[in-house]
Amino acid sequence: MSMNSSESVEMYVKSVAELGGDRQPVPIGRVAERMDVTPVSANEMMKRLGSQGYIEHQMYKGVLLTRAGLTMANNIIRRQRLWECFLVDKLKLDWARSHELACDLEHATAEEVVEALVSYLGSPTHCPHGNPIPEADSQELLETGVLLSELATGHSGRILAIRPESHEVLAYLHHRMLLPGTEVTVVEAAPLQGPLTLHMNDQEVVLGLNLASLVLIEELCCP
Amino acid sequence: MSMNSSESVEMYVKSVAELGGDRQPVPIGRVAERMDVTPVSANEMMKRLGSQGYIEHQMYKGVLLTRAGLTMANNIIRRQRLWECFLVDKLKLDWARSHELACDLEHATAEEVVEALVSYLGSPTHCPHGNPIPEADSQELLETGVLLSELATGHSGRILAIRPESHEVLAYLHHRMLLPGTEVTVVEAAPLQGPLTLHMNDQEVVLGLNLASLVLIEELCCP
DNA sequence: TCGTAGTATAAGGTATACCTTATACCTCTA
DNA sequence: TAGAGGTATAAGGTATACCTTATACTACGA
């Protein structure tokens, strides 16, 4: 019962959570991609995480988070999003950069710092990218909205959140003003996984489908 | 020319600086003690730091910081003391705990965060324990005041700073109200490295000599 | 159903950062 | 000046977290 979760272990558990490991088995190959390691390395680590009780490995299918794993993931995500709030709201740092800066800090943050940060920030509920901040030791991974990539042509919605994959993605979306709160309408969806054409802020914006799948939308029923 | 300074490397360089490696050779045994590793391990690491140009090893005498080493140490100390200010002034966390909490954060802090933190905190000049915050890339390790352990009997002074060795030490001194700003008079110095008897806040306080050597004093000429 | 893409495991290697044990060596003090 | 205590190095071990190469196995689509 060692409470030794190294930075590496924490990053893997967070990755599994962000790949949906709380609901469906996540293929280890996906984890390897996300962590930028070889499948062999990811496999080794999954074995370790399994023996430490954070994941359950279904052969040839993927890994699922256990309760302990989900709790750990939520606590890491909690820390990260709180730091993002601090970096953006207080330090006025770049919205797109905040994600990776917070990722460095999240592993070095004691519980008492997290709780003090919560009060200091006024108990924020969402990070600057619109993602919900889990409660401490939460067992559920909150999901908001539908993917912009799955919004039907002609339909409208308001951007709720951006899944913060990388600095690159965030900077790109920030530059096109695809930010939480913005209203968008899908004008056209090109065939063969082609890009979406969106109407927003009285402008037309063309967005790749993979990028659109990182944008979470609250569909507006009466546009 | 790799800008890879691992947490371990950073901690060793900081230790050497705090042991006076900017002025006199620090015996590697002292470094080993401070880092809580064996002399053999410290020796291995000193070899690496030497090859990376952070220290200079004088055989059987000790290690000295190079320019690069001193710059690194100052930047680490700068980060730590800034975080201490944030933790104590903004988050209202424990004065004694802030040192080690900041030590965790200091290695995970990007340059842009440091600079944003400086503005946010209003460019503080000293940490909550009274130690000066070095400028970015500073080449000089600032020293303030004289050691309380070297204050002559009968003399008075004002506490400038506490050398933050450990949580234990800080908690002890905090409990006795030995804080920056307090005025103290040395009433008696027991022989054979015995404890000091101090007069402060209309009370008598007895303090071990080793502890007194962690307290920095501005001597008051006309008590 | 066959093959391929993806998944699993074995074997062996690297780098970091520690450890122990043993030996040699220097410096300083009694 | 001799010995003790501290310092240096060699040799070999551990754990983590990666890697490559090779082999085997599974699942799924054509």
**Is the shortest CB-to-strand distance from A41 to strand D under 7 Å?**
yes
DSSP state of B88: I
B100-153 per-position pLDDT tens digit = 999 999 999 999 999 999 999 999 999 999 999 999 999 888 778 899 998 989
Contact list in B for residue A92 (CB cut-off 8 A) is 116
Dihedral of CA B181/B91/B104/B122: which sign? negative
Q: Does A117 touch chain B (CB under 8 A)?
A: yes
| Nucleotides of chain C touched by protein CB (<7 A) | 6-11, 16-22, 26-27
Give the model confidence (pLDDT) of B48-101 as tens digits.
Answer: 999 999 999 999 999 999 999 999 999 999 999 999 999 999 999 999 999 999
* A29 CB contact with strand D at below 7 Å: no
Q: Which residue is nearest to nucleotide C7 (CA to C1')?
A: A60
Of A184-198, B9-23, B24-38, B88-102, which range is least confident?
A: A184-198
Is strand D less than 7 A from the beta carbon of A107? no
Task: Please compute Rg for chain A using Cα positions.
Answer: 18
Are B74 and B138 in contact by the 8 Å Cβ rule? The answer is yes
Query: How far is the alpha carbon of B105 from chain A, nearest alpha carbon, in Å?
Result: 5
Banded model confidence at residue B4, pLDDT cuts 50, 70, 90: low
Q: Token match 């002292």: residue?
A: B30
**How far is the C-alpha of A54 from the C-alpha of A189, rounded, in Å?**
40
**Contact with chain B for residue A222, Cβ under 8 A:** no
User: How many secondary structure helices (H) and strands (E) does chain B include?
Assistant: 8, 8
Q: How far is the CA of A6 from the C1' of D16 (A)?
A: 9
- Supply the angle between the helices A28-35 and A39-51 in degrees, to the nearest 10: 110
Contacts of B174 by beta carbon, 8 Å cutoff, 6+ apart: B95, B96
Distance A48 CA to D14 C1' (A): 17
Q: Per residue in B176-208, pLDDT tens?
A: 999 999 999 999 988 878 899 999 999 999 999
| DSSP letter, residue A173 | H
Is A105 in the B-facing interface, judged by CB distances under 8 Å? yes
Token code pair at residue B33: 């003690």
Q: Which residue of A has its CA nearest to B115?
A: A91
Put simply, the answer to whether A91 touches B113 (Cβ < 8 Å) is: yes
Q: How far is it, in rounded angstroms, from Cα B17 to Cα B65?
A: 7
Among residues A87, A69, A163, the alpha carbon closest in space to that of A124 is found at A87
Strand D reaches within 7 A of the A119 CB: no
CB of B92 within 8 Å of a chain A CB? The answer is: yes
- Identify the structural domains of chain A with CATH numbers, from first to last: 7-65 (1.10.10.10), 76-142 (1.10.10.10), 146-220 (2.30.30.90)
Does the beta-carbon distance from B120 to A90 stay under 8 Å?
A: yes
Non-local CB neighbours of B37 within 8 Å, separated by 6+ positions: B45
Chain A and chain B share a number of CB contacts under 8 A equal to: 47
Which of B161, B170, B159, B169 minimizes the C-alpha distance to B94?
B170
Q: Which residues of A touch B112 (CB under 8 A)?
A: 93, 97, 101
Q: Are B130 and A110 in contact (CB under 8 A)?
A: no
Picking from B93, B104, B108, the nearest residue to A116 by CB comes out as: B93
Stated in angstroms, how far is B162 CA from C1 C1'?
78
- Pairwise CA distance, residues B200 & B221, whole Å: 17
User: Which residue of chain B comes nearest to A118, CA vs CA?
Assistant: B91
Q: What is the pLDDT along chain A (223 residues), one digit of tens a residue?
A: 335 679 999 999 999 999 999 999 999 999 999 999 999 999 999 999 999 999 999 999 999 999 999 999 999 999 999 999 999 999 999 999 999 999 999 999 999 999 999 999 999 999 999 999 999 999 988 877 899 998 989 999 999 999 988 899 999 999 999 999 999 999 998 887 889 999 998 999 999 998 999 999 998 876 4
Residue A32 CA to residue B9 CA, distance in Å, equals 28
Give chain B positions within 8 Å (CB) of A108. Answer: 104-105, 107-108
In angstroms, the separation between the Cα of residue B106 and the nearest Cα of chain A is: 9
Strands A196-200 and B146-147: unpaired
Q: Which residue of B has its CA nearest to A89?
A: B120
Residue identified by tokens 């996984």 is: A193
8 A C-beta contact, residue B103 and residue B166: no
